[in-house]
Amino acid sequence: MSKPKYIEAKYESFLTWDLDELGIDPNNIKDYEINRTALVVEFKDGTTKEYDNWEGSEVDYKHGFLSVDTFDKDWKVLPND
């Protein structure tokens, strides 16, 4: 069995975009997507606008813990005992 080399903790993080604060009328949205830390909105008039939210991106290291994985030197996942 391979020996552990890396231990990786995963945390939950949220990004929120307030449409009112951004001045976006939801009735004018044709489609949207999330691209990393940006909300990309396609409006019904054919325009597209990107709303970055990096400043509000904070990981809750106290309460947001999801899981931990252990990997060998080749990044192969090892069983967690």
Give the tens place of pLDDT for each residue, 14-32: 888 999 999 999 999 999 9
Of residues 61 and 5, more confidence is placed in 5
DSSP state for residue 2 in the 8-state scheme? P
Residue 81 has pLDDT above 70, yes or no: no
Q: How far apart are CA 51 and CA 13, in angstroms?
A: 18
Q: How far apart are CA 40 and CA 33, in angstroms?
A: 5
Work out the number of other CB atoms within 10 angstroms of the CB of residue 68.
10
Give the tens place of pLDDT for each residue, 38-76: 999 999 999 999 999 876 567 788 888 999 999 999 999
pTM over 0.85: no
